[in-house]
Amino acid sequence: MRSDQRNSLFTGPMIRQALIESVKKLNPLIMMKNPVMFVVEVGTFLTLLMILFPKFFGVEGTVGYIVIVFLTLLLTILFANFAEALAEGRGKAQADTLKKTKADTIAKRLTSSGKIEEVSSVDLRKGDIVLVETGDTIPGDGEIIEGLASIDESAITGESAPVIKEAGGDFNSVTGGTKVVSDWIKVRITVDPGESFLDKMISLVEGASRQKTPNEIALNTLLITLTLIFVLVCVTLLPITKYVGVKLEIATLIALLVCLIPTTIGGLLSAIGIAGMDRVTRFNVLAMSGKAVEAAGDINTMILDKTGTITFGNRMAAQFIPVGDHTEDEACQAAMLSSIQDETPEGRSIIELAKEQGCTLDEQKYKKAEIIPFAAETRMSGMDFEGVSYRKGAIDSVMQFVKEKGGVIPTNLKEKGEQIASLGGTPLAICIQNEIIGLIYLKDTVKPGMKERFAELRKMGIKTIMCTGDNPLTAKTIANEAGVDDFVAECKPEDKIRVIREEQIQGKLVAMTGDGTNDAPALAQADVGLAMNSGTMAAKEAANMVDLDSDPTKIIEVVSIGKQLLMTRGALTTFSVANDIAKYFAILPAMFSVAIPEMQTLNFMHLSSPTSAILSALIFNAVIIPLLIPLAMKGIAYKPMPAVKLLQRNLLIYGVGGVIAPFIGIKLIDIVLQVFGL
């Protein structure tokens, strides 16, 4: 979704719908899913019965007081329901936008004989091959098997600039609902109806498939336990008070119970979880589960690719350096010859730099040359023409190639290669037949601000490890410039898995980013795997998060959002429990001061009357929920710092604040009730 859509999520219609939903959620079958608030609803129902049948309950003289208790309890439930409904409403608003994208489109399916038949996109099945031409909407998730096209993905990512997708490589996956702007592609459908990327996204943002996380389940168990304890306390209070001669109204006992149980966090817990998922989604990251978001908050180690993540990734030719007895012009000419028809960014940059330096070449002369594309096995590319081999590639690979042809290695090759590597560049050796002519200095640049971002992660207690295919010297230079904690040079896919497992064996949670099929095993092994939307389907299926903007550095923000979710839940729980202290000092003296005058000394707030004290505490208990809804939705601002300092800070703000705020709030409500003669 675009930023303007994100900022307008709290709309009038959404608030009205949330109000309606908060009433619908009064259904006991729905309320039972939240045991804390279900207890409040039972208490509300009992007070309603007292109002309707006062003689039966023997409360004829205090019906007015019970009516106020009933209305306050009802508002408490409605406020809690409203918080959850509002959080769900934000997700549904995003889902509605996505559903407009997921329209039934006509697909051009290719039959086994090669003919085109037009079918509805809902009739497509996994394995079907479709033709998508200029102006067509891609009918389903799949992988390009033939062709190249410019694709508008703004319906999914919010970005208006089209992206180039082509068959082969790591950028061949397409998403249903996106549109081909130019050219054509053949797509093999990889999912059945209802299982597409967009279907999963709609389901997740609606909250239909949201499962409670382990942290949330544990907290919910704690809240239920506390509720059961206070129910037992209040039930046993009735015979005890009768024994000591204190007449205790059932409505007062219900008010005490509601104030004692953790209603604040009980009412906001679900909303916090939904809002956390929503924050990730609005950040254009699709989390496959709430567990993934929470795991991001507990990350200890982050594995990052160098190219495209820490650096811009577009290595460009910066200089031609001759070796041995050769000149710079000879190195320039050899580099140009080895890069004919090399359409990679590096290859094009070599040709451009050579032309800038005055090197010329009759490209028509080499049209019939045998082009040797780059291969991971050889780590070289170039051409063969009229029995002469022209190559460029990794220094060790070119050295081996030259030795096999009986050539001699220049004595200054290694020294000059190390000089380039020490500057953070990548040296490519150039050879003609069995003679090394020179080096190409390829330069990649560290993205601005990366050092500061890694410093923030360090403050969070997160270790950063850079993985790169570069040689150790180049890797070390880039690692120092970027400010990462460690690096793995000449890294292969299996090395990433090894690093992840080594960290996990030490009890650490690991996050990593990736986009290629060869990244899939490592993404699956990591506790938090963030796949790029531009990457392969295998990578997206292996990961538990997908970045729709395909920005590898976004893993840093995802970690911050995860920590923010955990902090928000912890802080509001602390605040809720701390609230109860003030309520004890308000209600308990009011309940027992008549029979036990000494209890009046606990009335620090000097509340005007026992009735006012009970109502003030109960009303505060209700109004604090809507006051905290914005905080639950937005989340607590996260500042990078060690866990111990973070805990101390939150205990000071939300623990001490949770104790002080109710004293002030209850006293103010008491003053207002005095004005109205209650």
Residue 312 is labelled as binding a ligand:
no
Q: According to the annotation, is 512 in a ligand binding site?
A: no
**Residue 262 DSSP class:** -
Angstrom distance (rounded) from CA 291 to CA 71: 37
Any known ligand binding at 378?
yes
Residue 221 in marked binding region = no
Q: For residue 225, how far is the Cα from the chain centroid?
A: 31
Strands (E), 190-335: 285-287, 301-305, 316-322
What tokens does 509 get? 């949670």
527 is in an annotated binding site: no
Residue 637 is given by DSSP the state P
Query: Has 586 been labeled as part of a binding site?
Result: no
**In the annotation, is 305 catalytic?**
yes
Closest by CA position to 156, among listed 189, 198, 125, 215: 198
Q: How do beta strands 528-532 and 510-514 pair?
A: parallel
As a whole number of Å, the CA-based R_g of the chain is 33
CA distances to 41, 458, 481, 527, 642 from 452, rounded to whole Å, are: 50, 10, 11, 25, 16
Both ends of the chain: CA-CA distance in Å? Answer: 50
Instruction: Mention every residue, 6+ apart, whose C-beta is less than 8 A from residue 349.
Output: 315, 316, 317, 442
Please work out, in degrees rounded to the nearest 5, the angle formed at the alpha carbon of residue 547 by the alpha carbons of 543 and 548.
130
d(CA 321, CA 330): 10
Q: Which of 626, 622, 619 is nearest to 666 (CA)?
A: 619
What is residue 534's three-state secondary structure?
coil
- 532 is known to lie in a ligand binding site: no
| CB contact at 8 A, 471 and 458 | no
Task: Tell whether residue 342 is among the known ligand binding residues.
Answer: yes
Tokens of 454: 């890694």
Which of the following is catalytic: 136, 152, 305, 551? 305
Is residue 165 a contact partner of residue 171, using CB atoms and an 8 Å limit?
yes
Compute the distance between CA of residue 163 and CA of residue 88 in angstroms, rounded to an integer.
Answer: 32
Nearest to 1 by CA among 111, 133, 101, 151: 101
In sequence order, the β-bridge partners of residue 93 are none
DSSP assignment of 209-241 equals T----HHHHHHHHHHHHHHHHHHHHHHHHHHHH
Q: Is 374 annotated as a binding residue?
A: yes
The answer to the question of whether 375 is labelled as a binding residue is yes
3-class DSSP assignment, residue 246? coil
Cβ count within 10 A of residue 112: 6
How far does Cα 421 stand from its chain's mean position?
35
| Binding site residue list | 342, 346, 374-381, 392, 515, 519
| Binding site residue list for Mg(2+) | 515, 519
| Binding site residue list for ATP | 342, 346, 374-381, 392
Residues marked as catalytic: 305
